[in-house]
Amino acid sequence: MMEKEKGEKSGPPCGEGISILPEGCISDIVALTTPKDACRACVVSSIFRSAAESNGVWEKFLPSDYQAIIAQSSSSDSLNFSSKKQLYLSLSDNPILIDGAKKQSFFLDKLSGKKCYHLPARELTIAWGNDPRYWRWVSLPESRSLHNSRFPEVAALNYVFWFDINGKMSTSMLSPKTNYAAYLVYKLTEEAYGFNHPPPTASIGTTGAGEVYEQTVSLDLPVVEPGPEDQVVLPQQQQQQHTSRPKQRNDGWLEIELGQIFNEGGEVDELQFGLKEVEVLRCKSGLIVEGIEIRPTRG
């Protein structure tokens, strides 16, 4: 027999070799990857497609407590899918209102399956928020129509000198071993003023760790799309801990990152986040707050 040429490999190509495995084995392998990888696996072959779309795979991508979370939603009946992949995609594309009286919105990060939450303005602590001289609670069509799962009212600022908005939630609600960021979801009216000199200070931290991350954020900087150009170039004396600028969201609102924190999991701590300016006390007006969103960072 002629010897094989140097470097020539015997046996079937890699893809064909894996395809001869039982479908259950392929499903177990795909379940160790990511939702994005599972979707890519569907184009390899028919057996890969069957394995990658199996309920066993997508059950692994869903949070372990997803059934308990769905049970808190009034729309739980509409989530009765036979396919776990359909359920995953629905929870990624269509946030659901949970906790009884529409206290917060829950959804999944589509790429990772990590848990995300959107706390409405009513669930935040807003200084002077219940005084109609300073804040008004209004209903906006753009805060009620998207996915039929937005909030019935938002907070509209008339004017304040003491500006302080903060919120909190249990870290046990979040996915463990995950880096999260908090985002203020808002709009500015054409008459808005008072948010640049000085810019308010954003903060995020946990009660257990005892550390709080702070940075100044400018709500009225020009809006940009997400990307590496998001960094704000400021004079040297203003560069310290000033990293966020507004981004346009697909739902028509703006968002600005308040800060990031790593959720270790395990012990239950309280995650706290907020935005304030209580030193210079310059008059501020024209801000509309829909809420604060907590979701995993990417990259």
Question: What percent of the chain lies above the pLDDT cut of 90?
Answer: 54
**pLDDT the model gives residue 23:** 59
Report pLDDT digits (tens) over 117-151.
Answer: 999 999 999 999 999 999 999 998 766 544 445 68
Average pLDDT rounded to a whole number, residues 201-208: 91
Which among 203, 188, 227, 182 has a CA at the least distance from the CA of 278?
203
* DSSP per-residue codes, 156-193: EE--BSSEEEEEEEEGGGSPSSEEEEEEEEEEEEEEEE
Grouping H, G, I as helix, E, B as strand and the rest as coil, residue 171 is helix
Grade residue 17 by pLDDT with cuts at 50, 70 and 90.
Answer: low
- Whole-angstrom distance, CA of residue 111 vs CA of residue 298: 9
